[in-house]
Amino acid sequence: RSETVLCSARASVLLYDDTHKQWVAAGGGPQTLSCVQLYHHPTANAFRLVGRKMQPDQQVVLNCPLGRGLRYSQ
């Protein structure tokens, strides 16, 4: 069975650059909105986040599995 989308949101995707100690826009170039979706694979009971730029090329800027024990800090 394939993955299903549980929810979707528009967001600015930023990645932390350890070298420069700052947040930078994912995918390079200027910061733009992305469509970020939460996927669920029921057979494996696995989750992942996928973000695609909301531009014609729909570049993937985020593809991250969410593992058990993940800690979130706002």
| pLDDT band per the 50, 70, 90 thresholds, residue 31 | confident
Identify the residue with better confidence: 39 or 29. 39
Q: Can you give the pTM of this predicted structure?
A: 0.83
Distances (CA, A) of 37 to 33, 51, 60: 13, 6, 11
Residues 36-63 have a mean pLDDT of 94
Identify the residue with better confidence: 52 or 31. 52
pLDDT score at 1: 64
**Residue 35: pLDDT over 80:** yes
The tokens of 34 are what?
A: 């992305």
Conformation bin of residue 44: beta by default, left when phi > 0, alpha when psi is -120 to 50: alpha
Whether residue 57 contacts residue 23, with contact meaning beta carbons closer than 8 Å, is answered with no
**Residue 8: pLDDT over 80:** yes
4-66 classified as CATH 3.40.50.2300: no
Amino acid found at 13? V
